[in-house]
Amino acid sequence: MLNIIGRILRISGKYRGRLILSFVMSFLESTMASSSLFAVYLALKWITEGTIDTARIAYLFLFLSGAALLRYLFKLLEYIFQSGVGYEMISDKRLRLGEKLLHLSMGFYSDTDAGNISSVLNADLVFIENTSINFLSKMISGFVSAILITVFLFFIDWHVALMASIFYPAAWLPAKAIQKMYSKNSAMRQQAHAETSSVMLEYLQGIHVIKAFRLAGKQGSRLERVLKRLEVVSYDFEMKVAPLIGLYLCCFHLGTALILGTVVFFYIGASMTLSSMLLFVVMLFTFYAPMELIGLSSGILRLMNACLDRMEGIMDYPLMDEDGEDIRLTSFDIVFKNVSFAYGQKQVLSDVSFHAPEHTMTAIVGPSGSGKSTMLNLIARFWDVGQGSIEIGGVDVRNMKCNRVLENISVVFQKAYLFHDTIESNIRFGNPHTTHQEVIAAAQKAHCHEFIVRLKNGYDTVIGEAGSTLSGGERQRIAIARSLLKDAPIVLLDEVTANIDPENEKLIQQAINALVREKTVFVVAHKLAAIKNAHQIIVLGIDGKIHQIGSHQDLLNSDGLYIDLWKKSQKISSWSIR
Ligand SMILES: Nc1ncnc2c1ncn2[C@@H]1O[C@H](COP(=O)(O)OP(=O)(O)OP(=O)(O)O)[C@@H](O)[C@H]1O
């Protein structure tokens, strides 16, 4: 318990003072609660001795009333110090985790399942938020009460108190076994929960594919499998832990029986006064209650530990820009120097070198899987190169904070991601400090103003989840408007017109022309006609090496991969369904 209190205090940050005070109040409240026992003892003593009188009754009344008032005061203070701390602390933690997630390399997301991350952010943090503080307070009260009652009993009759205390170490053995089981199982259960949320996420995100291919049964059975696993893990655990919990409680029940027998025996044998015997009988059924509670709740402690482990697992994941400096770039040419890169064991780029001067357009072409998008990811520092270096304006991107690199870059992806928010907010995401007029101007340049004003709520229209209420072309133009507002000196375009109809493609081309003016541009495109005017075209081979580099005309005039790609591209444009 001390360990978990320490962990909660460590993550509590600026709320630590309030939390400690609330724990102190909980401690004082328990002390007051236990002190009432003393009044009970005195009352029994005076009654059995026949020395009770009005003054003593008044004295007891005052004592108990004072204790009750102090309990009320300490409880109130405990609530005041505690109120909202769990929510505020976890809300802070969520923000910090969100910030951390923004700064992690894309490698983290490849290695970590989305369901896992989401279950840390939701289930785990909600559990800590709702349970931890209040629960720890109760545990502290229970612990303090148990110690105070035991000490008090030692004053009354140390023989009986000693006998009663022996059951604590006896119960310690099953308690330890329960804790061990909880430790092992909590991680397994968290894992099963994470798997379930991951499959559920996948199920919901791919619902259209599942419906279209009538895979509901198949996907459903996968979901059923993970749910079954969760059920089995939880049930198995309950079955294993139930006998141990029974044993743990049994120790205290035996203790209760033994104390009852002993005190009656001592009383009959005249080695205990009636008042002491009655006190033990009165207390018998509350004596072990705090320890029973603590033992039964040890599962919650373990679960809290597992939740904290998973949360700290993310917080401790190394940042890729830990050593990055806050460098502001002044020029924006891009140089690849002998860059090699692998996703884990999978080698993708090998010894890639070239120079893209400022304000020029570089196109990257090559067969599928040759590493074109990977090159863009490396420029934006979504990943770091394995060997060699990438320099922007003469600065190795690894020497810069990721934010500093990204503030100079606009990326337009093949699939434009829009948030479940208004169109205006989605465009303004490119630059939060812009006026409504500037948003409109960007939308006009991106050729989306016309369709936006035709919508019933215009710029205030809320876009459906992941932009689902707009067409692919419309989403893409809103994403370009967003990039226009950002006005970054480097623009990376990754297959922006793939899967777009010709009408939209023309509008998107015009929007892109506005976006790339005066910028250093990198474009990945399969439709080679679209990149004919690039200053240089890099031709990547499936081996991840540069096979050719030059202008469209240069490359057409020389033998090599480009000619093949060009011919294939021409064929595709004349493709039709017969
Ligand atoms: N996050 C990742 N983890 C592991 N492998 C990856 C990851 N992203 C891409 N790859 C692999 O790296 C290789 C290069 O991928 P990349 O997307 O850069 O190719 P590309 O040339 O852009 O392909 P395409 O033209 O089909 O879009 C591919 O084999 C791909 O499967």
* Ligand 1 atom having least distance to the Cα of 344: 4
Strand pairing of 334-343 and 387-392?
Answer: antiparallel
371 lines ligand 1 (CB under 6 A): yes
Give the domain-ending residue among 283, 315, 347: 315
Atom of ligand 1 nearest to the CA of 366: 21
Domain that holds residue 48: 2-86+112-315
**397 touches 391 (CB < 8 A):** yes
**CB 573 near ligand 1, within 6 Å:** no
Regarding whether 163 and 134 lie in a shared domain, the answer is yes
**DSSP at 353:** E
Domain boundary, last residue among 277, 295, 315: 315
Ligand 1 center from residue 352 Cα (angstroms):
16
Ligand 1 site, residue 374, Cβ cutoff 6 A = yes
485 domain residue, yes or no: no
CB-based burial label for 490 (10 Å; 0-12, 13-18, 19+): buried
Asked whether 369 lines ligand 1 (CB < 6 A), one says yes
530 within a domain of the structure (yes/no): yes
CATH code of the domain covering residue 303: 1.20.1560.10
CA-atom Rg of the chain in angstroms: 35
CATH number at residue 350: 3.40.50.300
Same domain membership, residue 327 and residue 308: no
Find out whether the beta carbon of 345 lies less than 6 Å from any atom of ligand 1.
no
* Beta carbons of 313 and 190 less than 8 angstroms apart: no
Rounded to an integer, what distance in angstroms lies between the CA atom of residue 524 and that of residue 511?
A: 16
Measured between alpha carbons, how far is 445 from 517 in angstroms, rounded to an integer? 12
Residues 227, 373 share a domain: no
Q: Is residue 476 part of a domain?
A: no
Q: Tell me, yes or no, whether 211 and 325 share the same domain.
A: no
Question: 208 and 351 share a domain?
Answer: no
In a domain, residue 7? The reply is yes
Count of structural domains, the chain:
2
Q: What is the DSSP letter of 355?
A: E
Q: Is the CB of 105 under 6 A from ligand 1?
A: no
Residues 232 and 145 in one domain: yes
Beta strand pairing call for 346-356 and 334-343: antiparallel
Q: Which of 349, 356, 368, 341 is nearest to 549 (CA)?
A: 356
329 shares a domain with 310: no
Q: Show pLDDT as tens, one digit a residue, over the chain (578 residues).
A: 677 778 777 777 788 888 888 888 888 888 888 788 788 888 888 888 888 899 999 999 999 999 999 999 998 998 888 777 777 888 888 888 888 888 787 777 777 777 778 778 877 888 887 777 777 777 777 778 788 888 888 888 888 888 888 888 888 888 888 878 877 777 777 778 778 877 877 777 777 666 666 555 555 677 788 888 888 888 887 788 888 888 888 888 888 898 889 989 988 988 888 888 888 888 777 778 777 777 777 777 777 887 888 888 888 888 877 777 888 888 999 999 999 999 888 999 999 999 999 999 999 999 989 999 999 999 989 889 999 999 999 999 999 988 888 889 988 887 788 888 899 999 998 888 889 999 999 999 888 899 899 888 899 988 875 455 788 888 888 998 998 889 899 999 888 776 666 677 777 787 788 787 888 999 998 777 778 888 999 999 999 999 999 999 999 988 889 998 888 877 765 555 54
- 224 — phi, psi (to 5°)? -60, -40
Rounded to the nearest whole angstrom, what is the distance from the C-alpha of residue 371 to the centroid of ligand 1? 6
Judge if the beta carbon of residue 542 lies within 6 A of ligand 1. no
For residue 153, tell me if it sits in a domain.
Answer: yes
- Which of 108, 111, 373, 497 best tests ligand 1's pocket when mutated (most atoms within 8 Å of CB)? 373
pTM of the model: 0.70
Does ligand 1 lie within 6 Å of residue 544's CB atom? no
Distance 556 CA to ligand 1 centre (A): 27
User: Ligand 1 pocket, 156 CB below 6 A?
Assistant: no
Q: Looking at the structure, do residues 244 and 372 belong to the same domain, yes or no?
A: no
Last residue of a domain, one of 292, 315, 338: 315
Structural domain contains residue 237: yes
100: number of Cβ within 10 Å: 15
DSSP code at position 421: S
Q: What is the DSSP string of 256-287?
A: HHHHHHHHHHHHHTTSS-HHHHHHHHHHHHHH
Beta strands, E only, 429-562: 490-494, 520-524, 536-540, 546-550
- Distance (Å) from CA 369 to ligand 1 centroid: 5
Q: Are 346 and 383 in contact (CB under 8 A)?
A: no
Beta-bridged to residue 490, according to DSSP, are 409, 520
338 and 307 within one domain:
no
276 shares its domain with 374: no
Judge if 131 and 17 occupy the same domain: yes
Co-location of 150 and 262 in the same domain: yes
Between the CA of residue 442 and those of 430, 433, 499, what are the distances in Å?
A: 10, 14, 24
Residue 448 phi/psi, 5° resolution?
-120, -10
304 close to 123: Cβ distance less than 8 angstroms: no
DSSP classification of residue 458: G
